[in-house]
Structure 1
Amino acid sequence: MTIRRLENIGIVVEDLKAAVDFFQQLGLTLLGEATVEGDWVDRVVGLDQVRSEIAMLQTADGHGRLELMRFARPTAHPGEGAAPANTLGIRRIAFAVDDIDASVAGLTARGIALVGDVVTFQDAYRLCYVRGPEGIIVMLSEELVDPASGDRASDAPPPD
């Protein structure tokens, strides 16, 4: 088996509009919204009588997609909305940004707070976590550039 690409990441939310607004503020583009229901979706997700509103968003480069889902039925199970970063399971989603300071300034102006601080990792990346609606943690990562050469400062992948 060969995986060809990551198709999308799905996140179940209670307030679809707030989640869409948050990810649009981060710079994702809304591709479309729809309601899905019927036998095919019941069979795919292994639930009965599914009715879900979905929104598909895409990153600026066109390669990353995020599917936000709100289950009208069956009702979604509550999660731990403010779970810390070390909680088991999928805990965060990461996006590369051109200017982390401008990104953070824009988000904080809209009332979105940092989880911790903006930090530098091995002189290669500047990183931070922000918490969106329903406790979704988003890592922002700015790859640093050597001012003398203009080359990327990193040989290592960004940290978790």
Structure 2
Amino acid sequence: MRISAIHHVAVICSDYPRSKHFYTQVLGLRVLAEVHREARRSYKLDLALPDGGQIELFSFPDPPPRPSYPEACGLRHLAFAVDDIDACVAELQAQSIAVEAVRVDEYTGRRYTFFADPDGLPIEFYERG
């Protein structure tokens, strides 16, 4: 078996228009496809990442809340590599998005920070350096 890359990460949101705005306008991800699935009463939005990977944004009627704090077993957070963490933090804060203090990874020496999407999904910016 040879895995070559992550193809996509799927995210279920509670408020589709709000999350679509966040991922496309705040994070600047490009829309590849958008489908309304009438039988499921849901949307599926495919978003392009610069490295070729994708985010699949789903909406479903009345999804259960995501257990996050304290941290639950399962996917912990979504991390994006960035070149300039200070510029990214400034952009988020300019849009009134709360961002944790920038920290340094004790093992790699790289800087990183966390913030949340509209449903509280933890997102990390990790500076390439």
Does residue 129 of the first structure (1) align with residue 114 of the second (2)? yes
Larger RCO (alpha carbons 8 Å, 6+ apart): 2
Q: Name the SS of the counterpart of 1:134 in structure 2.
A: coil
Q: Name the SS of the counterpart of 2:119 in structure 1.
A: helix
TM-score scaled by length of structure 2 = 0.84
**Which stretches in structure 1 are left out of the alignment for 5+ residues?**
38-48, 145-160
Among 38, 44, 68, the alignment partner of 1:54 is: 44
Task: Tell me by how many angstroms 1:16 deviates.
Answer: 1.4
- Distance 1:17-1:85 versus aligned 2 partners, 3 A rule: farther
TM-score scaled by length of structure 1 = 0.70
Match of 2:94, as an amino acid? A
Match of 1:118, as an amino acid? V
1:36-86 Cα deviation digits (max 9, x unpaired): 35xxxxxxxxxxx5232111111123x220000112xxx3332147x2372
**Which stretches in structure 2 are left out of the alignment for 5+ residues?**
none
1:68-123 Cα deviation digits (max 9, x unpaired): 0112xxx3332147x23722221210000111111011011111111x32011246
After the TM superposition, which residues 1-160 of structure 1 pair with which residues of structure 2 at under 5 Å, given as runs? Answer: 1-24=1-24, 25-36=26-37, 49-61=39-51, 63-71=52-60, 75-80=61-66, 83-84=68-69, 86-114=71-99, 116-122=100-106, 124-144=109-129
Query: How many pairs does the alignment contain?
Result: 127
